[in-house]
Amino acid sequence: MKLKKILEGIQGIEVKGTRDVAIQSITNDSRTASPGSLFIAKKGKNFDSGQYIDDVIQAGAVAVVTDVFNPFNINIVQVIYPFPEKIESLIARNFYGPVDQKVKLFGITGTNGKTTSVHLLHHILMREGCGLSSTIARITGPHHFPSHLTTPDVLSLYKLISDMKTCSLKYGAIEVSSHALEQERVGKLNFAAALFTNISHEHLDYHVTMDSYLQSKSKLFSGLQKESPALFNADDPQWKKIAKLSTGRVITFAIYNDADIKAINIRFIGEKTQFDVKYQGEVLTFETPLLGEFNLYNCLGVIGLCLSMNMPRDLIIAGVNSFKGIKGRLERVKRIKEEVYVDFAHTPKSLEEALKALREKKPNRLLVLFGCGGNRDREKRPLMGRVAEAHADISIITEDNSRNENITDIINEITCDMTRGKHMHIIRDRGDAISKALSLMKTGDVLLVAGRGHETTLQIKEGIIPFDDVSMIEKKSLINCGDLL
C-alpha cells in the first residue's frame, strides 16, 4: 500500500519526501520494524520513541511519523505531526481497512469481571466463529497467543481484528480497560454492543479521581450507534452516570433492582450455581460451575448481551452451562489435599467478593493471603486490609509485585487499620507466606491466595522473576506433606 493511501483524510500533517513510497507494515515498536515499515514514533510520560528512528532506518523502515523534522535523516520519508499518537488509529484504519464492518465487535469494560465475562462470551460464540482479546489471551480462530496487556495498543488491536477477518470469524470479544479508553487504544473502532460490569476503587494512581475513572469508562458507550445495545449492571450505584452518556440502546441487568434482564430463583448448591433469567416475558434456566454472586453477575451481563443481539437461546444456554471458568479466577488448586483457591482479586471489591463466595462453602476457617502492587494506587491498600479482616479468619500479608517500592512500606499501609495479633501474619517473601498459610490450615479450612491469578512472573526491585502461585502452592504443599493438623 502506498503511503499516500495510508495518510488519506488525515489533516494537519506535513510530509518530507515522497508519498508514493510502498508500505509493507506499520509499527510503533522499533524492535519489530522491517523492510518497508512505517514507524510511528510516539511519546509518553516515560518514553520517547523518536530516539529509535536510526534503529528502524537500519532495519529497513521507509517512513516515520514523528513530531520533529530531522533534516539529516535523508534515507526515510518523514511525516510530521505534533502528536503522532493522536493519528495512530487513523493510520491503522486506513492500513487495515474497516475491519469492524466484517467482524462484529463486543466490548466489555468495568473494574472487575471483564476477563471472565469476555472469555464466557467467546466460549458461547466459538461455534459461530469468535475471536478474543483479553488480559490473559488473544485468539484468532486456531491461533492462541498470550497477552501482556488488558487491551493491546491500537496497531496491535487492528492487526488482531484483521486476523479475525482473515480467519472468517463473525465476532470479536474485546476486553477494554480504562487505560485503553483514555489512551484511545480502541481508536475509531465501532462496537456492535458494549457491556459495563461494575465500577469500584481502582487505578487512582492513573486516573486520580473516581469521577475521572468513570469518565474514561464511559468512552466505550459514547461512540455506539443508536441501535447498538449498551448493557449496564443496574445493581451498581454508578451505572446511571455512565448510561446517560451512552449513544446506544440502554439495556439493564440486575439481581436486586428492577431491570430489563433479571436473575431470579438463584440457588448456590455445592459446586454449582443455578438460576433463571427473565427477559421480555421469557424465562431461561441455567446451571453454571462458576461460584459466587460476582460470577452470577458476569454470567448475567453476557447473557444479556447475547439476548440483546438475538443470539439463539440454545446457544446461550449451552455456552453458559459448559463454561468452566479461566485460569486464575477463583481457580481451585487440584493436585493437593488442602482446599486452596487462586484468584486475581487485587481490588477491595474483588477481594471481598471472592471471600464472600468462598464463605458460602461454609469452611471451618477462611484464610486469605494477599498483598498490594508497588508504584500503584496507594489509597486502596488500607481498604484491602479492612476487607481481609472483615471477611477472613486469618490474613497473611505478603509480596505482590512491589516493583520499586519498599515492601515494608506497602505492608504497613495495608495493615494500618488492621488489628495485629494471632489472626494476622506478615511474611514478606511470597513463597514463604504460602508455606506458612498451608501450615496453618486445619481440616475443613479454605485458603484464598489472591492478587496474581494467572500471572507467571513477580515484579520486585531486583527485577522480574518467575513466580506462579499455583506451582508454588503445589510445591509448598508437597514440602509440608503430612496429615493436616
How do residues 466-481 score in pLDDT, each as one tens digit?
999 999 999 999 887 6
How much is the pLDDT for 481?
A: 67
| Closest-CA residue to 327 (of 119, 108, 131) | 119
CB 259 within 8 A of CB 78: no
Bridge partners, residue 447, by sequence: 340, 367
> What letter represents residue 164's amino acid?
M
CB within 8 Å of 98: residues ≥ 6 apart: none
Tell me the backbone φ, ψ of residue 312, rounded to 5 degrees.
-60, 135
How do residues 16-32 score in pLDDT, each as one tens digit?
999 999 999 999 999 99
Tell me the backbone φ, ψ of residue 333, rounded to 5 degrees.
-80, 115
How much is the pLDDT for 94?
A: 97
CA–CA distance, 186 with 111 (Å, rounded to integer): 17
Residue whose grid cell is 452518556:
245
CA–CA distance, 318 with 4 (Å, rounded to integer): 49
CB 120 within 8 A of CB 105: no
* Domains and their CATH numbers in the chain: 3-95 (3.40.1390.10), 98-322 (3.40.1190.10), 331-479 (3.90.190.20)
CA–CA distance, 413 with 193 (Å, rounded to integer): 40
Radius of gyration of the chain (CA): 24
Q: What kind and span of H or E run contains 388?
A: helix 380-391
How many other CB atoms sit within 10 Å of the CB of residue 457?
13
CB 157 within 8 A of CB 189: yes
How much is the pLDDT for 139?
A: 96
CA distances from 140 to 137, 163, 330, 341 (A): 10, 6, 26, 30
Residue whose grid cell is 509499527:
27
CB 184 within 8 A of CB 89: yes
- Give the full edge-to-edge strand order of the sheet including 77-80: 14-16, 77-80, 63-66, 37-40, 25-27
Q: What kind and span of H or E run contains 74?
A: none
Global pTM reads: 0.91
- Reported confidence tier of residue 485, pLDDT bands at 50, 70, 90: very low
CA–CA distance, 275 with 295 (Å, rounded to integer): 12
How do residues 115-164 score in pLDDT, each as one tens digit?
999 999 999 999 999 999 999 999 998 999 999 889 999 999 999 999 99
Average pLDDT, the chain: 94
Higher pLDDT, 184 or 305: 305
CA–CA distance, 99 with 116 (Å, rounded to integer): 25
Bridge partners, residue 274, by sequence: 267, 287
CA–CA distance, 246 with 230 (Å, rounded to integer): 7
CA distances from 175 to 111, 186, 222, 311, 345 (A): 11, 10, 17, 20, 17
How much is the pLDDT for 422?
A: 81
How do residues 189-235 score in pLDDT, each as one tens digit?
999 999 999 998 677 777 778 888 888 899 999 999 999 999 999 99
CA distances from 162 to 116, 133, 158, 185 (A): 24, 13, 6, 15
Q: Are strands 446-450 and 424-426 parallel, antiparallel or unpaired?
A: unpaired
CA–CA distance, 78 with 15 (Å, rounded to integer): 6
Q: Is the pLDDT of residue 256 over 50?
A: yes
Q: Is the pLDDT of residue 96 over 90?
A: yes
End-to-end CA distance of the chain: 69
How do residues 335-369 score in pLDDT, each as one tens digit?
899 999 999 999 999 999 999 999 999 999 999 99
CB 105 within 8 A of CB 92: no
- Reported confidence tier of residue 176, pLDDT bands at 50, 70, 90: very high
How much is the pLDDT for 180?
A: 87
